Amino acid sequence: MQATRNGRTLPARNWTRLLLCCVFYAPSPLMAQNPGDDPANHAWQARAIAHAQKMRMFRDMVTGQQPTPKTIPVNRLDFDPSGMIATFQPKGPTQTSENAFFRNLGTNGRTCLTCHAPENGWTISATSVQTRFAVSFGNDPIFRLVDGATCPTADVSSIDAKLNAYSLLLSKGLIRIGLPIPNNAEFSVSVASDDFGCNTDPRTGVATGIVSIYRRPLPSTNLGFLGVDFTSADKRLNPTIMWDGREPSLASQANDATLGHAQANGSPNNDQLNQIVSFETGIFTAQAYDSKAKNLTGANGAAGGPAPLQQQLSEFYPGVNDPIGLNPKGTPFTSLIFKTYASWEGMLGGAGLTSDQAAVARGEALFNNTKFAIIKVGGLNDELGIASISGFCGTCHDSPNVGNHSVKMPLNIGVANAPADLPPGVIDATGLPVFNLACNSGPLAGKTFRTTDPGRALISGKCADIGKFKGPILRGLAARAPYFHNGSASTLLDVVNFYDVRFNIGFSEQQKRDLVAFLKAL
């Protein structure tokens, strides 16, 4: 028996190991870097940027300034809802006036810092956005019609109007993304419901070929773990940049964000792009102090905080700990993803740990060791033809001590389902538009999907990619609520409850609290 993945034949020993250990991982063939699917082709780019630029016709009437620290030091601590999050910059401090990440390169007052703040783990949180609205009366640069509002056509003539216009940003930390329907799409798109009307408005909607979806900005830190091989000649082997993996490189992402989100008149120059990428790839971020478990960076041997991630990155490579045998070094997969609090785990049942430290240790052990049936996951069960797969959290969150995918693996776990199709009372997708995607060609022709976000399908054009997203890096979670690509989980307990219900795991209430304690300590 021969098994293949991404066009490569797996060694027999790997296929045998997969069958024996019952930990399966089979990403879609769309992940292969084929000329027709490689996002480097930028089939989406020109139309998406043109849309953002065209939205200047709906003019912002404010020019709020971006508050910017003078320096990002080697070690920076910021308070977050669970304690303190830390940023470590081993190559030395950054003077913000000298780095394009912090400069206004566009026309609407925004910088990269606008949506990537250190106190939020280099992204934003809904709470922080609410504070920025209150302090600036809705004039902070994050509040811009192009994508901060539910639609560029929104009324922002009063405070009450702004509260409505920026409601998804304020409540869920969501940015509007306008992406074109691919020319090669196997599906047609119709709007089932849209509370804010952006997808039905003839000036901005689906009739123009643009689909407006709403997503959380991803952290601009710990980016060496995105699957970018910095030792390769082209510096972009198998990157997983953006929720849908559409950007081929960090430089490309910085360029497109400047032209789109900042509505710049022209692209950043190479020096500016290099400054942005150098800064983003030179910082590490993680929780350093927990208000309950206290010091996470050394107490009783704990290895929390960002400093250990520098060493972790030196050991990282695309395919590390891959569950199906694509680790280029041939090292077997292990479900023991996190060893951040291994010393605490070793002290369980004895003296020396506080009750809150013990909760973190138990949570890490649950994340690593809990086995459950993985069912109905698009990109996994369907492609293997196996209805139920015995796996772990680490089957999909396999990067050691980081928790994202070490290779491209967009999956559909159902988070993008229409609100009526989500587990009741677990996560909340109300307010998001609902689309019907009718598959007209391809293997799924004749089927119709209902979703709040087509996911990677808006890049590949494939019905098989509807609702698929990457798994994000898990470090610094406590600072950046809400969770999932659409902000549908307000808290980490909501995240745990979703997985518990979605996969019928059967966690006890104590186990749920322990898992939350661990996730907050990342």
Secondary structure (DSSP) of 35-55: TTT-GGG-TTHHHHHHHHHHG
User: Which residues partner with 451 through β-bridges?
Assistant: 417, 435
Cβ–Cβ < 8 Å for 512, 426? no
User: Which residues partner with 241 through β-bridges?
Assistant: 247
pLDDT at 260 over 80: yes
Return the beta strands (E) in 89-132 as ranges.
94-95
pLDDT of 39 reads 47
What tens digit of pLDDT does each residue of 176-212 get?
999 999 999 999 999 999 999 999 999 999 999 999 9
State the pLDDT confidence band at 238, using cuts at 50, 70 and 90. low
User: Which residues partner with 98 through β-bridges?
Assistant: none
Cβ–Cβ < 8 Å for 74, 274? no
Q: C-alpha angle with apex 211: 209 to 216, nearest 5 degrees?
A: 150
State the pLDDT confidence band at 328, using cuts at 50, 70 and 90. confident
Residue type, 175: I
Tell me the C-alpha distance between 14 and 359, whole Å.
36
pLDDT of 31 reads 29
Return the beta strands (E) in 316-401 as ranges.
372-375, 388-391
What tens digit of pLDDT does each residue of 372-419 get?
999 999 988 887 788 998 999 999 999 999 999 888 889 999 999 999
State the pLDDT confidence band at 339, using cuts at 50, 70 and 90. very high
pLDDT of 228 reads 57
What tens digit of pLDDT does each residue of 179-188 get?
999 999 999 9
Residue in this structure with the two tokens 């649950």, named with its chain if needed: 366
Q: Where are the alpha helices (DSSP H) in 385-472?
A: 457-460
Q: What is the mean pLDDT of residues 164-171?
A: 98
pTM of the model: 0.91
Token duo for residue 465: 């990619």
State the pLDDT confidence band at 492, using cuts at 50, 70 and 90. very high
Cα 483–chain centre separation: 9
Query: pLDDT: is 248 or 163 the higher one?
Result: 163
pLDDT at 1 over 80: no
Tell me the C-alpha distance between 391 and 371, whole Å.
6
pLDDT at 319 over 60: yes
Q: What is the mean pLDDT of residues 234-240?
A: 53
pLDDT of 372 reads 97
**48-62, 371-385, 451-465 — which one is most confidently predicted on average?**
451-465
CA distance to 109, 116, 303, 454, per residue, from 342 (Å): 45, 31, 8, 39
User: Which residues partner with 450 through β-bridges?
Assistant: 436
pLDDT of 409 reads 84
Hey, is 110 helix, strand or coil? coil
Q: Mean pLDDT over all residues of the chain?
A: 89
Token duo for residue 195: 């509370």
DSSP string, 417-437: B-GGGSPTTT---TTS-EEEE
Strand order in the sheet with 284-290: 75-80, 83-88, 284-290, 294-295
pLDDT of 233 reads 40
CA distance to 26, 147, 237, 313, 358, per residue, from 118 (Å): 35, 21, 28, 20, 28
pLDDT of 384 reads 77
State the pLDDT confidence band at 239, using cuts at 50, 70 and 90. low
Cα 284–chain centre separation: 16
Percent of the chain at pLDDT > 90 equals: 80
pLDDT of 16 reads 28
State the pLDDT confidence band at 37, using cuts at 50, 70 and 90. very low
User: What counts of helices (H) and strands (E) characterise the chain?
Assistant: 14, 15
Cβ–Cβ < 8 Å for 484, 415? yes
Q: What is the mean pLDDT of residues 320-335?
A: 87
State the pLDDT confidence band at 84, using cuts at 50, 70 and 90. very high
Closest C-alpha among 468, 474, 488 to residue 244: 468
DSSP string, 273-333: HHHHHHHHHT-EEEEEEETTTEE-SSGGG---SSHHHHHHHHT--TTTT-TTS--TT-PPP
pLDDT of 383 reads 78
Token duo for residue 236: 């972009």
